[in-house]
Structure 1
Amino acid sequence: MVDLRIRQTASSGVTVHPDCLSEYQNLKTKRSVRYVIYKVSDDKTQIVVDQAASTDYDEFIKALPERDCRYGVYDFEYEKPGEGKRNKICFIFWSPDEAPIRSKMVYASSKDAIRRSLEGIGAEVQATDFSEVSYEAVLEKASRHTR
């Protein structure tokens, strides 16, 4: 078994805690949660699970802090005209304008480590304000990616 703490180290030195992948699998394969939000630990050494829930997209957005960064994955359900309902796992890099610059730097330099460890992402969104993670904005990104 590969040790994720070694394999998924960011240029910032931040590692991905194994629970991050476990919770992602709960979303991806077990479908026991609808979203997972990840954060950098207080000591800035690991990316850890902040929260996971099976509530709707509005609740996911409300869970994002106004003044700090986060990573999130959401099992986004939408309807494509003529093709029916679809699901796409969306990765969201949340870096609000109001977040401290140090936080933005740590999250930006650590993003690839978490992103590489989460296989099966269908769309990616980078957002600096809530309008960029509105349902409509994410729907536009999710529906144009066909992977």
Structure 2
Amino acid sequence: MEQKEIVVEKVGEPANRCNDFTASLPTDECRYAVYDYDFVTEENCQKSRIFFIAWSPDTSRVRSKMIYASSKDRFKRN
């Protein structure tokens, strides 16, 4: 079955840490992830950055990596 949509599989809690996020990524399947990172600068300013991550581990299938890579470009264009 060919997938034609992106489905939200999991939503983390604000209290979760970066290690929780990385531990939730599968070791042999591709995924997209959005990580909202809040931090305080050396000047004591509250900041936030949102990261878009295309997770494609070496152990995932080549076809899956190709599909994720081509779909990622669509995100970048939009």
User: Structure 1 unaligned runs (5+)?
Assistant: 1-41, 118-147
Which residue in the other structure is 1:48 paired with?
Answer: 7
Q: Equivalents in 2 of 1:98, 1:59: separation in Å? A: 21
Q: 1 or 2, which has the higher helix percentage?
A: 1
Number of paired residues?
76
**Backbone CA RMSD of aligned residues:** 1.8
Structure 1 stretches of at least 4 aligned residues deviating more than 4 Å after TM superposition: none
Match of residue 87 from structure 1: 48
Deviation of 1:77 after TM superposition, in Å, equals 1.5
TM-score (norm 2): 0.80
Whole-angstrom CA distance in 1 between matches of 2:8 and 2:76: 14
Identity among equivalent positions (%) equals 39
TM-score by length of 1: 0.46
Note the 1:72-111 alignment, pairs <5 A: 72-111=33-72
Q: Distance in 1 between matches of 2:77 and 2:7?
A: 15
**What is the CA–CA distance in structure 2 between the aligned matches of 1:50 and 1:56, rounded to whole Å?**
18
